[in-house]
Amino acid sequence: MKLSHLGNEDADATARLMSASQRLIDEAARLFPLAAAQNDRTIWLEAMIDEVPDYLYFKDRNSRFVVANRAIVNDNRREGLDSLEGLSDFDIHPEHVARGFFNTEQEIIRTGRAMLDMEELIRDSGGRFKWLLTSKLPVRDGAGDVIGIVGIARDITERKRAESLHLGQAHLLKMIALGAPLTDVFSSLILLIEAHVSDVTGSILMLAPDGRHIVTGAAPNLDPAFCKLIEGAEIGPAAGSCGTAMWRGEQVIVSDIETDPLWAGFKALVAPYGYRACWSAPIRSYQGKVLGTFALYSRTPGEPTAECMKLVGMATHIAGIAIERKEAEDSIQFMAHHDTLTGLPNRSMLDERVASAIEAADDRGGTMTLAFLDLDNFKLVNDSLGHHAGDELLKIVAARMLRCVRASDSIVRLGGDEFVVLINGGMRKGETVEDRLRAVREAIAEPVVIEGRSFQVTCSMGVAAYPEHGRNATELLARADAAMYRAKEIGRDAMQVFTAELANRAHEKLERQEELRRALAQGELFLQYQPQMDLATGRIFAVEALIRWRHPERGLVGPGDFIPLAEETGLIGPIGDWTLRAACRQNKAWQVSGLPPIVVSVNVSARQFQEKDWVERVAAALEESGLEARYLELELTESLIMQDVQQAVETMHRLEQLGVHLAIDDFGTGYSSLSSLKRFPVGRLKIDRSFVQDLPNDSDDAAIARAVISLARTLQLRVIAEGVETREQVDFLREAGCHEIQGFYLSRPIDARALQAILCIPNP
Ligand SMILES: Nc1nc2c(ncn2[C@@H]2O[C@@H]3COP(=O)(O)O[C@H]4[C@@H](O)[C@H](n5cnc6c(=O)[nH]c(N)nc65)O[C@@H]4COP(=O)(O)O[C@H]3[C@H]2O)c(=O)[nH]1
C-alpha cells in the first residue's frame, strides 16, 4: 500500500495500525493455527470444485442450492445472476424439468438412498440442449440425519450424439437390408444428418441412367418447388453444387451461392427459397462410379465444419450402399422375370402379362390374341452348328419378333425355342391380328447368317383369342398350345387357329393325363419282364423291365399308348421313378429268393434323363432296394443322347461311376456318328426290332444287322438283337457274331412270378 499521499502523522498512525494488525494476525495464527488452516482449506476446496468441469453442487432439504461450482453457474447464468445460492431448479429450468429434478431429490432425502448415473436432458442458458449423466447422494449430519443432497453431473452430450448417430446408422442399414424403398432410406438418412448439424437442409439427388441428367432422390425438408426445378437438369462443369459434383466426381463446396460462378446459371432459381450455401459430395458405387450426390443447403453463407463434412461422408457412403443394394435387387428381379439370352420376359411373367392383356381387352370391350410359337428346325441348328449358333439364332429371332409387334404387345420366351406372342388389340388401319402374326412368321423365316453360314428357320404357331377361345390365361395357353401341336402335325411352318375339334382333343388329352396320374397313384401300373439270353452259353443273364397299365375299363394298355403322353406332360418323371424302384426291388427279391443273380434292364426316357437330379434318383433306387449297381442296366435311346451329346456324356459318366451298366436301345434308328459312339461309356448296343423282323430274307436288314454287330465288336461292346421271333433269325444272328438275343422266340414279356419259374429252370 502506498502511503505517500497521506500526511506524515497520518502515515505514521497508519503504519503503526498496520504493524499492529500484522502482529495481531501473527499472534492469532500462533494461538489459533487450526483456524488458519481451516480457512485455507475452504479456499482450496472452493477453488478446486470451481476447476472441475462437471457440475458439482450441494442442495438443502428443500432442494435449494447451498453450494454450486462454476461449471453449473456458468451454464445457468441469467442476467444479474452470478451465483445459484438460495435458488432452486424452478428458478432456472422450465417447470416440468425442475419438477422432475425436485421429485428425485426429495425421494433421495426421504429414503436416504443415492441415485447414480441418471441420464438427464437439460437446456442451458444459451438455449443448447445438453445431456447430463447425474449422480445424487444424500448428505448426513453428525447425527446421521439427511441434511441435503450432493449432486455431480457430467456433460455427455457428445457421447449421446455419437450414440444416436450410431443408432441412426444401424437403423438405416437395417432398412436397407430389409429392402425398404429407396426414398424412405434417403429421407431417414437426411433427417439423421439434419438432426446432427444445425441449420442445414439435406438433399439426395441421383444420376439418371443416361449419366447426364439429375433425378430427385429425396429431400424431405427442401422446398418441393425448388426440388421440381432441379429435376431433369443436366449435369455439367458449372451446374450448381450437385450438378458439378456429379460431373467432376468430387466434392463441391459453394459457400456463397450469390457470388460463386458454379451457380451463375441457377442463382436466380434458388433466390426465392433463400438458400445461400450448398455443400455437395458425390455418392459412389463400390467401384467408384458416381451414382448421385448428397448435399446440405444453408440459409447463411459459409463453409461447413470438418465435423459436418465427416457426417456428409458417412451419408454418401450409406446412400451408395442403399443405391447399389437396390440396383442389385432390381437386376435380380429382372433376371428372375426375364430370359438372360434374349432379354425377353420369361415364363414367370406370362400369367401376369396374359391377365393384364385380358384386363385391357375388357376395359376396351375388345379382344386379345395369344400365339404359341415353336421354331421348326431349331434342334438341327443346335446339333449341327452347336449351342453358340443356336443361342445366336434365338437372339436374332427374338429381335425380329419385337420389330413386328407394338409396344403394347408382349413377347415372352418360354424356354428353348418356344415363345408366346400377346397381341393386345390396337391395330393399325386395315391391319388384322392375322396380318401381325403373319409378319412375325415372315420375319422369323428371313434368311439368317451365323458364323458365315446362311440358313432359314420357320416356325409353327398356334393361336387362341380372348374371349372366343378361352376366358383366362390357363385356358388360352392350353388352347394355343393345342393349336400349335396341330400346326406341327400338319407339316410345320404353319399357323393354326384353335377350333372346336382341337378343343375336344385337348379335353381328351387332359382327361387321359388325369387318368394316368390316377393310375400311378392307385397302383394300376405294373411291370412285365422279358428275358435276354447269351447265345454262347444259352444262359438267361438279364431281363428287360417293360411297363404295363391295367386300365379299369380298357384292360391291359401297352406303353406305346401312354408313355408319349407321360413324356409330353412331365408325368414321366414320377412314372420313371416308380419303374426304376420297382425293377430294382424285384431284382433284389429274386436274388434274396436264391435265384442266380441277373441284370435288370430299365428304359429311360429323354425327359427323365435330362432331369437335374436323375443320377441321384438312380442312386436312391439302388440304395432303397439294396440292389448292387452292377445288376442294373439303363437303356438309353440314340435320339435321347443326341439331344445334348455333351450333357448326356457327362451324365453317362456319372452313372458309370455309380457302377450301373448302360446300353443304347434302338441302335441304328438314330444318327449316332461313329466318333461320338466312341465317347459314350456304354457296354451294349441293342439292334432295333425293325432290322430284325425281316431277317434273314431282307438283304438290306441283313446288311444293317451285320454292320451293327461288326461295329459293336470293333468297339468291344456287347451286342443284343431284340424282337427275335424265329429259329432262322437266331441262326442268322449267331452266325453274324451277335452275342445276345431277346424276343418272343425266347419268351414274351411276362409277370415277375412267371419269370421266376423260367429262371429256376437250369440252363441247357
Ligand atoms: N413284335 C415283337 N415285339 C417284341 C418282341 N420281343 C419284344 N417285343 C416288344 O418290343 C419292345 C421292346 O422294348 P423297347 O424296344 O425298349 O421299347 C419299349 C420302350 O421304348 C417303351 N417302354 C416300355 N417300358 C418302358 C418304361 O418303363 N419306361 C420307358 N421310358 N419306356 C418304356 O415302350 C416300348 C414298347 O414297349 P412294349 O410295347 O412293351 O414292347 C416291347 C416288347 O414287348 C418280339 O419278338 N416281337
pLDDT band at 764 (very low <50, low <70, confident <90, very high): very low
Please say whether the beta carbons of 460 and 378 come within 8 A. no
Radius of gyration of the chain (CA): 47
For residue range 371-393, what is the model confidence (pLDDT) as tens digits?
Answer: 999 998 787 787 778 888 899 99
Distance, CA 658 to ligand 1 centroid (Å)?
A: 26
Q: What does the DSSP assignment read for 467-478?
A: TTT-SSHHHHHH
Does ligand 1 come within 6 angstroms of the Cβ of 708?
Answer: no
3-state secondary structure of 622: helix
pTM to 2 decimals? 0.51
3-state secondary structure of 501: helix
pLDDT band at 9 (very low <50, low <70, confident <90, very high): low
What phi and psi, each to the nearest 5 degrees, are found at residue 52?
-65, 130
Taking alpha carbons only, the member of 232, 231, 217 closest to residue 184 is 217
What is the spatial order of strands in the sheet that 277-284 belongs to?
214-218, 200-207, 290-298, 277-284, 252-254
Cβ-based neighbour number of residue 256 at 10 Å: 15
pLDDT at 1 over 50: no
- Is omega for the bond preceding 696 within 30 degrees of 0, making it cis? yes
pLDDT band at 4 (very low <50, low <70, confident <90, very high): very low
Q: What is the mean pLDDT of residues 236-258?
A: 96
- Give the Cα separation of 145 and 61 in Å (integer): 11
- Give the Cα separation of 405 and 370 in Å (integer): 13
**Cross-strand partners of 637:** 665
CA-nearest residue for atom 8, ligand 1, is 723
3-state secondary structure of 303: coil
Ligand 1 atom, smallest distance to 745 CA: 45
For residue range 603-622, what is the model confidence (pLDDT) as tens digits?
Answer: 998 888 888 889 999 999 99
Residue 278 DSSP label: E
Q: What is the mean pLDDT of residues 420-441?
A: 84
What phi and psi, each to the nearest 5 degrees, are found at residue 459?
-140, 160
Amino acid at 420: V
Does ligand 1 come within 6 angstroms of the Cβ of 531?
Answer: no
Q: What pLDDT shows up at residue 6?
A: 43
For residue range 169-201, what is the model confidence (pLDDT) as tens digits?
Answer: 999 999 998 889 999 999 999 999 999 998 999
Q: What does the DSSP assignment read for 666-722?
A: EETSS---HHHHHHS--SEEEE-HHHHTTTTT-HHHHHHHHHHHHHHHHTT-EEEE-
For residue range 631-641, what is the model confidence (pLDDT) as tens digits?
Answer: 999 999 877 78
Q: How far apart are the first and last CA of the chain?
A: 148
pLDDT band at 136 (very low <50, low <70, confident <90, very high): very high
Q: What does the DSSP assignment read for 435-468?
A: HHHHHHHHHHHS-EEETTEEE---EEEEEEEETT
What phi and psi, each to the nearest 5 degrees, are found at residue 455?
-150, 180
342 Cβ contact list (under 8 Å, min separation 6): 394, 395, 398, 399, 413
Does ligand 1 come within 6 angstroms of the Cβ of 722?
Answer: yes
- Give the Cα separation of 539 and 516 in Å (integer): 37
Q: CA 622 from chain center: how many Å? A: 36
Does ligand 1 come within 6 angstroms of the Cβ of 563?
Answer: yes
- Give the Cα separation of 459 and 346 in Å (integer): 19
Distance, CA 546 to ligand 1 centroid (Å)?
A: 6
At which residue does the C-alpha cell 461450482 appear? 69
Does ligand 1 come within 6 angstroms of the Cβ of 243?
Answer: no
How would you classify the pairing of strands 540-551 and 555-557? Answer: antiparallel
Does ligand 1 come within 6 angstroms of the Cβ of 546?
Answer: yes
Please say whether the beta carbons of 499 and 482 come within 8 A. no
Helix or strand holding residue 147 (H, E): strand 146-155
What is the value of ipTM here, to two decimals? 0.94
Distance, CA 712 to ligand 1 centroid (Å)?
A: 22
Candidate of 532, 546, 567, 569 to mutate for ligand 1, largest count of ligand atoms within 8 Å of Cβ: 546
Does ligand 1 come within 6 angstroms of the Cβ of 582?
Answer: no
Cβ-based neighbour number of residue 737 at 10 Å: 13
Distance, CA 749 to ligand 1 centroid (Å)?
A: 9
- Give the Cα separation of 598 and 532 in Å (integer): 10
- Give the Cα separation of 192 and 211 in Å (integer): 28
> Cα torsion at 297, 299, 305, 307 (round to 10°)?
-60
Distance, CA 635 to ligand 1 centroid (Å)?
A: 11
- From residue 522, give the alpha-carbon distance in Å to each of 331, 619, 637: 46, 25, 29
> What average pLDDT does the structure give for the chain?
88
Taking alpha carbons only, the member of 30, 5, 1, 6 closest to residue 18 is 1
CA-nearest residue for atom 6, ligand 1, is 743
Does ligand 1 come within 6 angstroms of the Cβ of 532?
Answer: no
pLDDT band at 474 (very low <50, low <70, confident <90, very high): confident
- Counting residues of the chain whose pLDDT is more than 90, the rounded percentage is 57
Domains of the chain: 51-155 (3.30.450.20), 160-335 (3.30.450.40), 343-498 (3.30.70.270), 514-760 (3.20.20.450)
